[in-house]
Structure 1
Amino acid sequence: MILVPPSIFVGLLLALWAYKCLMTVLFQDKIIYMPYMPPFARKEKIADYATVCWPVEWEEQRIRSLDGTRISLCVGGIPRIEDFQAVRKHVVICYFQGNGSSPPPRLPLLSQVLKLIHTRAHTDVRYTLVALAYRGYWTSTGRATQSGIELDAQAMLKWIAETYTSPNTETQIIIWGQSIGAGVASTAAATFLSHQHDVPLAGLVLETPFTSVKSMLLALYPQKWLPYQYLYPFLWNHWDSESALRKIAEAGNKPRLLLMPATRDEVVPPTEIAKLEHLCKELKLEYERKNVVGALHTEAATRREGQEAVAKFILSATRA
């Protein structure tokens, strides 16, 4: 009888451990993707940010993903007199956000980058920024999953290639992703380069990136008594930037890379950016690294230093 209480206690601990493992696996999409945070994120409106974004003008475009899901894009640019004259080059910047909120609250910082670019750009070059609302986010339909978001990213790139290509204008694409969006960006870039496209991918910006979901699990939960590091075989969300970069290295026309970590990142350990930098060296990819000093995980591009770095990189990568 004396062994009954401790047996029950141990049994309850094991049951709780197993329950937590099961729930983590079954609800990983809910844990990783948070379109509902902060509250009312899906009800955000572009018009509410129009004043602070000026002179950048934004509009919503609705397109179909590769599986037919209706997804939304925020498309922005600065109207100029030159828009009605001959344009030698059109640079389209594709932005993939982090795992929370929606595109409209990010439009002010994206607008600031566009403003910085335009102050230094040639008058015969037009810059457009397209931000994707993943399925399940903002006004996009469906439910967020990695397989679905990969289709959304390719649909956006296909739409850009069809919409912004013209016989007399050179079109170039820059892909920019933040946090988990960096995983989306690298995966999208690898897939895009694996197909033969007339539109070149000139650059890839990875802001506060991590190597993979598995790597993050091992880095954040190294304790062997915790269940998390044993769960990666059951993941269906991987966002493996290492694998994507290896595919990019095999492409004929490799894009330039910008690695932009935040030095006070409270989410992604510094070991992750070190792994990615080492990988770029190993694969002989042309890259540069810009540390945003003092920035937290979501602050890298909100800081002037980060915005300047992205604008400078885009101008350099697309200069011909």
Structure 2
Amino acid sequence: MPFLPFGTRNLTLEEAHIDKRLECKQVTVETRDKCKLAGIIVKNDDNTIIDDHEPIIIYFQGNAGNMLFRIPIFSKLILHSSNIVKRVQIVAVGYRGYWFSTGSPSEKGLQIDALAIYEFVRRLYPKNPIYIYGHSLGGAVALYLASNEKIQKDLKGIIIENAFTSIKDMVTTIYPQKWLPYKYLVNIPLLNRNKWDNYRVIQGIKIPILFLSSRNDEIVPQEQMIELHKMAKISKKKVWVEFKNALHEDIFSHKGFVEAIKVFINETISDIRSR
């Protein structure tokens, strides 16, 4: 962690192919341990000032590449003909060690990053409803953030796409052979500092959760998403949307992606949550 395809560290905003109907602004978020995280804010380029009722999505990426690779996802959410609720802005900030962000990635480090990103967004948008969206590794980061009781009370909902139950389960999936040492080594605390125990964390999430799951996920077995859905027992609203022909990375290109998120936001944005 992380996997960075060739050229992704040096790809600039100016070099990215961004739809002219989008406004994409680069931002920097500083963490409490002085890492500087590079990110973007994406919205419709129509010069309209966002009001306090319009949703903000904090997007946490998967393990590969950088946030500029996710521009097609953001374009789909913002520019799709059916659109989200009124207007939406997406804040997508890279973890330490990703893109131009300083520092080296680790579970503890990414957790610090998540808190800093949330605080940055809340300062920027003090009254807007906030949703967090995590894909794969980003699902783990999103669940960690939502597990903070104070922050959870401030969120309208969480969207999880093709997340895993734990690093231990993923190691067993990738290396099932009994003669390989990896699945045994993850049981040694000093050797396994990145646990991402989503199976446990999701059991404390009370806010609405939208699960976006690829039946043909070639990276994270769908059974792990099914298990996460099962263990989200105290969530006040669980929504499961399956994409039969989708792979790990391409749910956004399949029919029903935008509609699922639009319905989820419409049904939760005005909810009065009991605390």
Q: TM-score w.r.t. structure 2 length?
A: 0.89
The amino acid of 2:124's aligned partner reads: T
Give the equivalent residue in structure 2 for 1:90.
54
**CA, structure 1 residues 221+160, in 2 after alignment: closer, same or farther (shift >3 Å)?**
same
**CA, structure 1 residues 118+89, in 2 after alignment: closer, same or farther (shift >3 Å)?**
farther
Give the equivalent residue in structure 1 for 2:175.
221
What is the aligned-residue identity percentage? 27
Corresponding position: 1:33 with 2:17: no
Give the equivalent residue in structure 2 for 1:63.
29
Residue 49 (structure 1) shift: 3.7
Aligned with residue 78 of structure 1, among 33, 36, 44: 44
**CA, structure 1 residues 270+196, in 2 after alignment: closer, same or farther (shift >3 Å)?**
closer
Q: 1:139, 1:69 → 2: CA distance?
A: 11
Q: Does the CA-based 8 Å contact 1:117-1:312 persist in structure 2?
A: no
**CA, structure 1 residues 117+313, in 2 after alignment: closer, same or farther (shift >3 Å)?**
farther
Select the structure of larger CA radius of gyration: 1
Residue 316 (structure 1) shift: 2.8
Number of matched residues? 268
Q: Partner of 2:163: helix, strand, or coil? A: coil
Give the equivalent residue in structure 2 for 1:283.
234
Corresponding position: 1:44 with 2:1: no
Structure 1 gap ranges (5+): 1-31, 249-253
Corresponding position: 1:99 with 2:63: yes
Give the equivalent residue in structure 1 for 2:217.
265
**Aligned pairs (5 A) from 1:195-234:** 195=150, 200-233=154-187, 234=191
Q: 2:177, 2:157 → 1: CA distance?
A: 38
The amino acid of 1:39's aligned partner reads: F
Give the equivalent residue in structure 2 for 1:293.
244
Q: 2:151, 2:142 → 1: CA distance?
A: 18
**CA, structure 1 residues 317+46, in 2 after alignment: closer, same or farther (shift >3 Å)?**
farther
The amino acid of 2:105's aligned partner reads: A
Q: 2:41, 2:110 → 1: CA distance?
A: 18
Residue 301 (structure 1) shift: 2.1
Give the equivalent residue in structure 1 for 2:226.
274
Residue 117 (structure 1) shift: 8.3
Per-residue CA distance 1:259-296 (angstroms, 9 max, x = gap): 1111111111122112112112x335421111112111
Q: Does the CA-based 8 Å contact 2:57-2:90 persist in structure 1?
A: yes
Corresponding position: 1:306 with 2:267: no
Give the equivalent residue in structure 2 for 1:28.
none
**CA, structure 1 residues 127+214, in 2 after alignment: closer, same or farther (shift >3 Å)?**
same
Q: Partner of 2:76: helix, strand, or coil? A: helix
Per-residue CA distance 1:44-92 (angstroms, 9 max, x = gap): 222334543x3221111012012111111211111446528xx341321
Aligned with residue 241 of structure 1, among 194, 198, 204: 198
Q: 1:185, 1:143 → 2: CA distance?
A: 19
Give the equivalent residue in structure 1 for 2:88.
127
Per-residue CA distance 1:14-46 (angstroms, 9 max, x = gap): xxxxxxxxxxxxxxxxxx311xx3101011222
Structure with more helix by fraction = 1
The amino acid of 2:227's aligned partner reads: K
Structure 2 gap ranges (5+): none
Q: 1:273, 1:307 → 2: CA distance?
A: 20
Q: Partner of 1:160: helix, strand, or coil? A: helix
The amino acid of 2:2's aligned partner reads: Y
Q: Does the CA-based 8 Å contact 2:208-2:235 persist in structure 1?
A: no
**Aligned pairs (5 A) from 1:6-17:** none
The amino acid of 1:302's aligned partner reads: S
Q: Does the CA-based 8 Å contact 1:63-1:70 persist in structure 2?
A: yes
Q: Does the CA-based 8 Å contact 1:41-1:102 persist in structure 2?
A: yes
Q: Does the CA-based 8 Å contact 1:90-1:164 persist in structure 2?
A: no
Q: 1:69, 1:290 → 2: CA distance?
A: 36
Q: 1:306, 1:314 → 2: CA distance?
A: 13
Corresponding position: 1:184 with 2:135: no
Instruction: Give 4+ residue runs of structure 1 displaced > 6 Å after superposition.
Output: none
